[in-house]
A and B are shown apart, each in its own frame.
Chain A
């Protein structure tokens, strides 16, 4: 199974300041079609997960442009350029290259 390792697991943030979450996969989630089958999700309190970034770098529809995804190989990063109060929740990375699909442990983001 592909193991996804996130860091940090807890991230206190100040509104208006940038934030960054890392995810490392034990194998590259690069598909033969050239896309990384690697997504970032946000689970807001009491809600189901919502897609933020797909294929490593692409913002999902309706996602604010303060969110960006980067990385290659086995190392990926989610960046929030200026955190807003509505960004609190648990962020997960996920690989969908092979079954079982696997998620990172989650990074809990809270406002300081």
Chain B
């Protein structure tokens, strides 16, 4: 069974940092593009970042470019999102997703990030 399990969320002060993890199982992790998508409280879905199968290609939404870094370790079946210089508007549930455009799309259950003093 395909599983994506996010962790690492929590409460952080503005300007702080947080590292999210996504542990994958049930499929060949190294064969898929992986994404992060976020959802602010009561709001819609916003794409954040993606990386290709070996991590050599990364893309970011303008709102997080220069502050967030996506990475992966295929030996550990793990995807990360390093988030620095956090702002109140980064408060959201962050979802890890597999291959979002197409039949292989799968999402995790999400991890909540709250940026507040």
**Residue ranges of A at the interface with B (Cβ–Cβ < 8 Å):** 37, 39, 41, 43, 47-51, 54-55, 58, 60-61, 90, 92, 94-97, 99-106
Contacts and interface: CB of A to CB of B under 8 A. Distances in A.
Contacts of B50: 99, 101
Contacts, number: 65
Interface stretch (B15-23, B24-32, B83-91, B107-115): B107-115
Given A48-B95, A94-B100, A96-B100, A103 B105 contact: no
A101 B101 contact: yes
Interface of B: 35, 37, 44-47, 50, 59, 61-62, 95, 100-103, 105-110
B107 A49 contact: yes
Contact of A48 (B35, B59, B103, B107): B107
A55 B102 contact: yes
